[in-house]
């Protein structure tokens, strides 16, 4: 899921860095004082999620939690994703430093789509939570596959899509569990204003 | 009769030289061990390297499974890291008609000598748990800082 340096052309990575930094600072200003602890907690969860990895189909998969971040933070999930990715690149070497913008755009858009799905009226809560968790992984995976295809990198795009579909199902189920748990214990956390 | 004998002698000599020449092109696989890797060097009778020859490594056990496949480098070298003890099999084929197979016994000590344990720090780096703790501390610290800053602004002078 994390793109390394040197895979996509430098101008594309540079443009993505500018876009990600701009969007993160713009959306970061919308975080209210009361929302800061929740954003910090979610950013920590996103940061640590990539350490939980499992062997799957000859490769290794890990959680992203972008869908859950979208559900709990709304649009301000984007800066949380940015912070988590910066620290992952610096401390775990997950993804390239110059590719942080690309990774933030891919995964941040996953969180934003999840936030949109979560707010879609007329659907049962569990269905919205599952779809949000699913999209939170599938959107970045599709974007990444598309970017790889554009630059002719790798021959395993379909394999990637298959692997990430499995992760998306797992994340969908995880998001439903989290929403059900929070609805029972702390429903105020499910109300986002951003 | 004497001419015929001379001709047969020359023919036999030519055949012997040809056979010697063919033998000189037989593939050989030299095995070196540097835990955790086994390094193969494929060459034509120990001289000319079998550059870019196709290599397949089979893990121990039945049915044999391809563990790794690829091509040797320009010097005929190919490395793999066995993950279990037993008799491994390397097959080198230059796809020009030369093929050689070598069985490589790998013991438990070799596997254990090269084992990299989860969470082991990179050379000169911090352990994984410490890096994770640093990351969480940075986020909590930043969140606390901005919380205090915003709360102070809200409270006014």
- Structural fold of domain B24-113: Immunoglobulin-like (2.60.40)
Segments forming the whole domain that contains residue A46: 10-190
Inter-axis angle of helices A77-87 and A66-73, to 10 degrees?
A: 140
- For chain B, which ranges sit under pLDDT 50? 15-24
Strand ranges across the sheet with B86-93: B66-71, B54-58, B86-93, B99-106
CATH number at residue A157: 1.10.1760.20
Q: Which two tokens stand for residue A150?
A: 């554009």
Identify whether A161 is part of a domain: yes
Identify whether A5 is part of a domain: no
Give the A-side interface with B, CB within 8 Å.
Answer: 31-33, 36-37, 39-40, 43-44, 47-48, 51, 83-84, 87-88, 91-92
Q: Cα separation of A4 and A43, whole Å? A: 21
Q: Cα separation of B57 and B88, whole Å? A: 7
**Total domains, chain A:** 1
Q: A73 pLDDT exceeds 90? A: yes
Residues A133-181 have pLDDT tens digits of 999 999 999 998 888 888 887 666 677 778 888 899 999 999 999 999 9
Q: Which of A40, A46, A49, A82 to mutate to test the interface with B (most CBs of B within 10 A)?
A: A40
Kindly state the helix (H) or strand (E) to which residue B115 belongs, with its residue range: none
Asked if A66 contacts A109 with a C-beta cutoff of 8 angstroms, the reply is: no
pLDDT tier at A61, thresholds 50, 70, 90: confident
Identify whether A91 is part of a domain: yes
The span from the first CA to the last CA of chain B, in angstroms, equals: 125
Asked if B52 contacts B14 with a C-beta cutoff of 8 angstroms, the reply is: no
Rg, C-alpha atoms of chain A: 16
Residues B41-53 have pLDDT tens digits of 999 877 788 889 9
């Amino acid at each position: 899921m994390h793109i390394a340096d040197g895979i996509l052309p430098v101008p594309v990575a540079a443009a993505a860095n500018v876009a990600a930094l701009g969007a993160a600072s713009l959306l970061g200003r919308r975080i209210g004082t009361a929302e800061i602890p929740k954003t910090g907690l979610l950013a920590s969860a996103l940061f640590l999620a990539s350490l939980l990895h499992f062997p799957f189909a000859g490769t290794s998969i890990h959680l992203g939690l972008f869908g859950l971040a979208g559900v709990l933070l709304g649009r301000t999930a984007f800066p949380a994703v940015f912070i988590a990715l910066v620290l992952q690149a610096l401390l775990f070497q997950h993804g390239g430093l110059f590719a942080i913008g690309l990774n933030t755009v891919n995964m941040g858009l996953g969180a934003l789509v999840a936030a949109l799905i979560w707010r879609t009226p007329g659907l049962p809560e569990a269905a919205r939570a599952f779809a949000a968790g699913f999209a939170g992984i599938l959107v970045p995976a599709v974007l990444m596959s598309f970017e790889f295809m554009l630059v002719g990198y790798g021959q395993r795009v379909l394999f990637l899509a298959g692997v990430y579909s499995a992760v998306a199902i797992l994340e969908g189920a995880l998001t439903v569990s989290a929403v059900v748990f929070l609805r029972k214990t702390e429903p105020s956390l499910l109300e986002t204003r951003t | 009769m004497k001419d015929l004998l001379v001709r047969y002698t020359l023919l036999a000599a030519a055949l012997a030289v040809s056979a010697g020449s063919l033998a000189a092109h037989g593939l050989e696989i030299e095995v070196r061990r540097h835990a955790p890797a086994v390094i193969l060097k494929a060459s034509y009778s120990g001289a000319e390297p079998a550059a870019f020859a196709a290599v397949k490594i089979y893990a121990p056990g039945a049915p044999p499974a391809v563990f790794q496949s690829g091509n040797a480098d320009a010097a005929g070298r190919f490395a793999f890291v066995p993950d279990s003890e037993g008799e491994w099999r390397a097959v080198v084929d230059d796809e020009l008609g030369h093929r050689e197979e070598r069985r490589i016994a790998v013991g438990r000590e070799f596997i254990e000598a090269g084992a990299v344990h989860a969470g082991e720090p990179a050379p000169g780096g911090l352990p994984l748990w410490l890096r994770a703790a640093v990351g969480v501390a940075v986020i909590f610290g930043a969140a606390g800082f901005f919380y205090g800053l915003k709360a102070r602004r809200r409270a006014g002078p």
